[in-house]
Amino acid sequence: MSLSTLSIATLRKQLCAGEITPSDILEDLISSIEKTNPEVGSYLSWDVEAARQAAKQADISLPLGGIPIAIKDNINVLGEPCTCASKFLENAYTAPYDASVITKLKEAGAIPFGRANMDEFAMGSTTDNSALQQTNNPHDLTRVVGGSSGGSAAAVASHTAIAALGSDTGGSIRQPASHCGVVGLKPSYGRISRYGLVAFASSLDQIGPLTKTVEDAALLLNAMCGHDPADSTSLNEPVPDFTKALHRGVKGLKIGLPKEYFVDGIDPRIREAVLATAKKLEDAGAELVDISLPHTDYVVATYYILAPAEASSNLSRYDGIRYGNRTKNPDKLIDVYRKSRAEGFGPEVKRRIILGTYVLSSGYSDKYYLKAQKARTLIREDFISAFKEVDVILSPTTPTAAPLHGAHSDDPLQEYMADLFTIAANLAGICGISVPAGTIKEGDSKLPMGVQLLGPHLGEEQLLQVAAAVEQQ
């Protein structure tokens, strides 16, 4: 069996037993990338020689010693390109430092290897918004991988990565995890440092893992969590060993089923898969509780005011002056700004900058931005109330399986609605995970689908406990 198909936990056992070396894992992974990446397109770049040197020097006594990890191309790794899948940064920016999560992974012995494709500046739900290349679903190359961490999910699913890092602003880890049939975890806001993550919407962004198993997600979470003085939003909270919760089962736990997440528009096969998962959890000793999240109807509208508003501010630094691509032969200074941004940003990024600038503009900020902040508070309070009744919430991750490339190219709103079930977790700052739950038959293809579990803020331990039970079922 190819080493690239194995989980972190399995590879670590073989490494510690002396059956394999870090170089064996890396060479197998390189071979898999060379064979599979041309048709899947998970990676934008990779530095083979640097990774080989790191593998030779890897300390296998460390928790992740010798394990290569793919990195979404909006997370800084010293000496590596960080393009955010945008022409603005292509061949124009090399990371001068390691993001805090990369420092922590290296300290745990992991080897960052490969820059995974994504929607440009993490804006999108398909990865088709990448300005640099297309990524295809390993289960059906005519379909999208989800986004924005699509390259990371596709790499894990196609066994061109043992595991990967992504970022999640409105579902960008969980949604592609569902479409590709892997595990995707969005930790609570503040649980993992965002220092070194290229900002999209700073109050929503969170780094997290995409893995082959729930146990692997717990292993990576162990390594990445912890307070970071470089990030003012990083919480100084104790970090448990998340792997210890994985075998506790679900007996006595209360699982919430929100009525607003089982509405018209969901593929009935996904609805059935979620309800079947709920029944299995009940059979294992959990109690099912019907709950309500009454402000769910406002989630998408709220998100698409707040996230673009923050993006408009964060992306103002890309001006053709400080770094990134600069337009050729401008007539005057204003042309540097206008033409550099017009040439550097893709359609979806421009759309969100324009929308964000509008809702922040004089005369409209109270009407839109302030009202959206009030709606966000109500959405957060929905979850606070719900978690007084239940331990974990169960729902679909996405309303449908992976769509065909270009299915929503003429209707961005339909793409935005694909994040209906994932956005709320970011608005509320809580944790969430997508776990594979079978496949859907579409023509000759079997497309993965996932179920989503949501836990309270800093509730990752119990969230992983239930996720492991779902995986075992």
Residues identified as active-site:
72, 148, 172
Rounded to the nearest 10 degrees, the angle between the axes of helix 214-224 and helix 460-472 is: 160
Of 216, 210, 179, the C-alpha closest to 442 is: 179
Non-local (6+) Cβ contacts of 343 within 8 A are 87, 325, 327
* Nearest CA among 235, 75, 86, 59 for reference residue 164: 75
The continuous run of DSSP H or E covering 165 comes out as strand 164-167
Closest C-alpha to 318, from 207, 205, 199: 199
In whole angstroms, what separates CA 180 from the centre of its chain? 12
Instruction: Please name which of 215, 102, 178 lies closest in space to residue 452, comparing C-alpha atoms.
Output: 178
10 Å CB burial of residue 87 (0-12, 13-18, 19+) is: middle
Handedness of CA 91, 160, 7, 183 (dihedral sign): positive
Provide the edge-to-edge strand list for the sheet that holds 43-45.
43-45, 111-116, 68-72, 164-167, 207-211, 183-186, 431-442, 445-455, 392-396, 254-258, 287-291
β-sheet bridge partners, residue 138 = none
Helix (H, G, I), strand (E, B) or coil at 378: helix
CA distances from 353 to 83, 115, 309, 429 (A): 18, 25, 7, 23
Note the helical H segments in 58-136.
100-107
SS3 state at 332 = coil
Question: What is the SS3 assignment for 425?
Answer: helix
- How far apart CA 38 and CA 444 sit, in angstroms, is 22
β-strand partners of 220: none
φ, ψ of residue 82 to 5 degrees: the values are -135, 90
Cα radius of gyration rounded to whole Å, the chain: 21
Distance separating alpha carbons of residues 191 and 225, to the nearest angstrom? 6
Backbone angles phi, psi at 238, to 5 degrees: -60, 145
Neighbours of 472 (CB within 10 A): 12
CA distance 151 to 145: 8
> CA 396 to CA 386: how far, in whole Å?
17
